[in-house]
Chains A and B, each alone.
Chain A
């Protein structure tokens, strides 16, 4: 059938399973918007800023477990997307970003709202396209969706000049997509599996690091079975949280810069580390050169580029984690490592103060976050921003299923919390979605409150409000001799702000009122903003100072009396 480029784009979105687009119109995408009413199957959500649209697509993709989509106009529309695109790149989130561009005969002439969108975004995407012919649109969308969702997922960008939306072409949907420069890994090399099994069987102090790849590869069940079969304790990276229930006897939570003391000691004393779908990031591993020299490393990943990138690897295994884990299970002996686990438990018990929530009448961030967690159900999605509140959420919330935590891990994007929560709520309209916000990050993207109201998205937002850019302040306190520069941040009256948007808003200044406010938010049918005014100068402990080894994990200098031990 012959149709306009605009119709082909909308038809193609349907074919690749996109039911929601977070978009913002502009001059060059007008021909596309003009045709939108004819395609009611694709819901358009008008965001208030393209970055918000991008993060919403990211949050949507993680919560739904499928491709998310954001749309922007040329020039500033495209450049406003950049942060969100790179965020999705760093965290391997399957996303499709569509931008309009100036008409073909204006490209390269520095016309109004022209930016080199494909050039700007090339290093931020898995792949991108500039579509110069309407007859290429359908194939491009099919290929883009295939690339974004297969292998190691990631963002794919499609740039479309204005007149390509207007041109007509035959709509031909490709029956299959094949890209000769793109090979998906097949079955893992059997020799690699055998070598890994040998190391696993011989290990006395083995350890699993489970990363985001386990969740993206839908291999949580396979991970649990492999860990139980081999008796190997499991640590998580930040993005791996939820890949094994935190209540599981072999789950030891998060490792890394703000990982638990026992997790970091276990990682530093293991004789075998099995990385599964993680990328050996510096925030998880500490100083590369001094990561546990006694441990051999097995690394299972779908991306060969991750093998040996940061750490020397004894056995790299290339393959789908969902296939590799059962293979490894079948190739290894059933074991339990009671002495090793007892050793980790003893470290944990001896250092139970290290993540304790300070006692006293003051309202702590950890206390608020833990209480929200206690009132979550099995469907609750937690979205965070970046900084202290994020680390406290990772430490104190008990994540038990994949994608329960949606957070900006790799890029560390402040301002992710509000739009990503909005996207998650769109993906899961009936779930309770809590956005744990920093008072700094919230002010970066709060414009999306209007979108939430428009679409009646009942997101619950907890501003962990300490009046500081808390993590930066913590570093200035610890590493720059209390020299606080540009970290005290003023703010509007958040309750009035929420009300101005037509959102129910509460303020909590008293620790006794935390539970009531959470219950009130949970019960309200609509978005809620809660301004939790917490103590100003709490620090996240334990901590691996930047550039230190995991074995150099530092605990709170003056152990505060634990009233509530965090486990």
Chain B
């Protein structure tokens, strides 16, 4: 069975509470799905976090990924944005070796890719780029001859264009919010010493 591998962008809206990342990661490991990248952050709705997961797999597998994710109690909503009209971005910081003589040409490259130099040192530059994958790879290719010293990427995030949203606006009662927020979280302050 040789099916074409394709990168899928799956968005999961999850309860913001301890253990959620572990549940999601555990599910991917257990079912043998490979995570290309994973980005997590808060959303416009207090108590709800958004995970953007990039999975390289056959179409049928992504269907299973979505269904298995949706089964997790802490996962509120799952959507596959692959092939949808969406803004897809990733941010990277790239530290590139660069002598003062080379600096001008590197900065020209940075301009072409609409990236930015955010740190300048005598022998190196940190370049920040916010882009889609193709543009991103192309910049790296062009920087490689200078020597890439270090690189870090945030992983992909995505949002549908236009009025459509992948959001949950389902406010719960204050009581329930308090329960969900504190569930599994260590209380603040000193705890009494209780030995076992």
Chain A interface (Cβ within 8 Å of chain B)? 27-28, 74, 102-107, 111-113, 118-119, 122-123, 126-127, 129-133, 136, 139-140, 147, 162-163, 166, 178-182, 303-305, 307-309
In this complex, which of A74, A163, A166 has the most chain B Cβ atoms within 10 angstroms of its Cβ? Answer: A163
Q: Do A105 and B183 touch (CB < 8 A)? A: no
A-chain residues with CB within 8 Å of residue B83 when the two chains form the complex: none
Task: Give which listed residue, A130, A163, A166, contacts B184 with CB less than 8 A.
Answer: A130
Question: How far, in angstroms, from A181 to B71 measured CA to CA in the complex?
Answer: 8
Question: How far, in angstroms, from A296 to B182 measured CA to CA in the complex?
Answer: 49
Q: Do B19 and A27 touch (CB < 8 A)? A: no
Q: Do A181 and B74 touch (CB < 8 A)? A: yes
Q: Do A113 and B170 touch (CB < 8 A)? A: no
Question: How far, in angstroms, from A500 to B192 measured CA to CA in the complex?
Answer: 47
Is residue B67 within 8 Å, beta carbon to beta carbon, of the partner chain? Answer: yes
Considering only residues 161-196 of chain B, those with a C-beta below 8 Å from chain A are 168, 170, 172, 176, 179, 182-187, 191-196
* Given contact pairs A133-B182, A140-B183, A181-B74, A308 touches B168 in the complex (Cβ within 8 A): no
Question: How far, in angstroms, from A63 to B76 measured CA to CA in the complex?
Answer: 33
Question: How far, in angstroms, from A260 to B22 measured CA to CA in the complex?
Answer: 43
Closest-by-CB residue of A relative to B69 is A305
Question: How far, in angstroms, from A285 to B60 measured CA to CA in the complex?
Answer: 20
10 A-B pairs with least C-beta separation: A103-B194, A163-B194, A105-B191, A305-B67, A127-B73, A181-B76, A27-B196, A130-B184, A104-B191, A102-B196
Task: Give which listed residue, B60, B76, B185, B194, contacts A132 with CB less than 8 A.
Answer: B185
Shortest B95–chain A CB gap in Å is 34
Question: How far, in angstroms, from A336 to B79 measured CA to CA in the complex?
Answer: 44
Task: Give which listed residue, A27, A182, A307, contacts B73 with CB less than 8 A.
Answer: A182
Q: Do B187 and A133 touch (CB < 8 A)? A: yes
* Given contact pairs A122-B19, A163-B194, A104 touches B187 in the complex (Cβ within 8 A): yes
15 CB contacts below 8 A, A to B, read: A103-B191, A103-B193, A104-B186, A113-B196, A122-B19, A122-B26, A123-B30, A130-B19, A130-B184, A132-B185, A133-B182, A179-B73, A305-B64, A305-B68, A308-B60
Considering only residues 62-115 of chain B, those with a C-beta below 8 Å from chain A are 63-64, 67-68, 70-76
Shortest A240–chain B CB gap in Å is 22
Q: Do A136 and B182 touch (CB < 8 A)? A: yes
Q: Do A123 and B73 touch (CB < 8 A)? A: no
Question: How far, in angstroms, from A163 to B195 measured CA to CA in the complex?
Answer: 9
Closest-by-CB residue of A relative to B1 is A289
Q: Do A180 and B186 touch (CB < 8 A)? A: no
Q: Do A123 and B191 touch (CB < 8 A)? A: no
Q: Do A308 and B196 touch (CB < 8 A)? A: no
Q: Do A112 and B196 touch (CB < 8 A)? A: yes
In this complex, which of A102, A130, A131 has the most chain B Cβ atoms within 10 angstroms of its Cβ? Answer: A130
Closest-by-CB residue of A relative to B75 is A181
B-chain residues with CB within 8 Å of residue A305 when the two chains form the complex: 64, 67-68, 70-71
A-chain residues with CB within 8 Å of residue B182 when the two chains form the complex: 132-133, 136
* Given contact pairs A74-B196, A166-B194, A147 touches B187 in the complex (Cβ within 8 A): no
Question: How far, in angstroms, from A111 to B15 measured CA to CA in the complex?
Answer: 30
Question: How far, in angstroms, from A106 to B26 measured CA to CA in the complex?
Answer: 25
A-chain residues with CB within 8 Å of residue B191 when the two chains form the complex: 103-105, 163
* Given contact pairs A147-B73, A305-B67, A131 touches B183 in the complex (Cβ within 8 A): yes
B-chain residues with CB within 8 Å of residue A139 when the two chains form the complex: 179
Q: Do B186 and A107 touch (CB < 8 A)? A: yes
Question: How far, in angstroms, from A73 to B91 measured CA to CA in the complex?
Answer: 46
* Given contact pairs A127-B73, A181-B75, A132 touches B64 in the complex (Cβ within 8 A): no
Q: Do A129 and B184 touch (CB < 8 A)? A: yes
Q: Do A304 and B70 touch (CB < 8 A)? A: yes
Task: Give which listed residue, B19, B75, B179, B196, contacts A118 with CB less than 8 A.
Answer: B19
Task: Give which listed residue, B67, B187, B195, contacts A103 with CB less than 8 A.
Answer: B195
Q: Do B196 and A103 touch (CB < 8 A)? A: yes
Shortest B102–chain A CB gap in Å is 48
A-chain residues with CB within 8 Å of residue B26 when the two chains form the complex: 122-123
Q: Do B172 and A180 touch (CB < 8 A)? A: yes
A-chain residues with CB within 8 Å of residue B176 when the two chains form the complex: 178
Interface range for B? 35 or more
Is residue B23 within 8 Å, beta carbon to beta carbon, of the partner chain? Answer: yes
Q: Do A136 and B183 touch (CB < 8 A)? A: yes
Shortest A436–chain B CB gap in Å is 32
Question: How far, in angstroms, from A162 to B193 measured CA to CA in the complex?
Answer: 11
Q: Do A180 and B67 touch (CB < 8 A)? A: no
Question: How far, in angstroms, from A179 to B194 measured CA to CA in the complex?
Answer: 33
* Given contact pairs A122-B22, A130-B19, A304-B67, A163 touches B183 in the complex (Cβ within 8 A): no
Shortest A527–chain B CB gap in Å is 36
Question: How far, in angstroms, from A119 to B191 measured CA to CA in the complex?
Answer: 23
Question: How far, in angstroms, from A140 to B15 measured CA to CA in the complex?
Answer: 15
Shortest B90–chain A CB gap in Å is 27
Q: Do B15 and A181 touch (CB < 8 A)? A: yes
Is residue B18 within 8 Å, beta carbon to beta carbon, of the partner chain? Answer: yes
Task: Give which listed residue, A130, A140, A163, A309, contacts B192 with CB less than 8 A.
Answer: A163
Considering only residues 136-180 of chain B, those with a C-beta below 8 Å from chain A are 168, 170, 172, 176, 179
A-chain residues with CB within 8 Å of residue B73 when the two chains form the complex: 126-127, 147, 179, 181-182
Shortest A148–chain B CB gap in Å is 11
Closest-by-CB residue of A relative to B13 is A181
Closest-by-CB residue of A relative to B18 is A130
A-chain residues with CB within 8 Å of residue B60 when the two chains form the complex: 308
A130-B18, A178-B176 are known contacts; what are 14 more A-B pairs with Cβ within 8 Å?
A: A27-B196, A105-B192, A105-B193, A112-B196, A113-B196, A119-B22, A126-B73, A130-B183, A131-B184, A178-B172, A181-B76, A305-B67, A308-B60, A309-B64
A-chain residues with CB within 8 Å of residue B72 when the two chains form the complex: 181
Shortest A6–chain B CB gap in Å is 13
Shortest A510–chain B CB gap in Å is 50
Question: How far, in angstroms, from A378 to B83 measured CA to CA in the complex?
Answer: 58
Question: How far, in angstroms, from A127 to B183 measured CA to CA in the complex?
Answer: 13
A-chain residues with CB within 8 Å of residue B192 when the two chains form the complex: 105, 163
Shortest B107–chain A CB gap in Å is 47
B-chain residues with CB within 8 Å of residue A129 when the two chains form the complex: 183-184
Closest-by-CB residue of B relative to A304 is B67
Question: How far, in angstroms, from A131 to B179 measured CA to CA in the complex?
Answer: 10
Question: How far, in angstroms, from A181 to B77 measured CA to CA in the complex?
Answer: 7
Question: How far, in angstroms, from A107 to B63 measured CA to CA in the complex?
Answer: 38
A-chain residues with CB within 8 Å of residue B67 when the two chains form the complex: 304-305, 307
Closest-by-CB residue of B relative to A74 is B196
B-chain residues with CB within 8 Å of residue A126 when the two chains form the complex: 73
Question: How far, in angstroms, from A107 to B182 measured CA to CA in the complex?
Answer: 16
Shortest B154–chain A CB gap in Å is 25
Shortest B104–chain A CB gap in Å is 52
Considering only residues 45-72 of chain B, those with a C-beta below 8 Å from chain A are 60, 63-64, 67-68, 70-72
B-chain residues with CB within 8 Å of residue A304 when the two chains form the complex: 67, 70-71
Question: How far, in angstroms, from A132 to B188 measured CA to CA in the complex?
Answer: 11
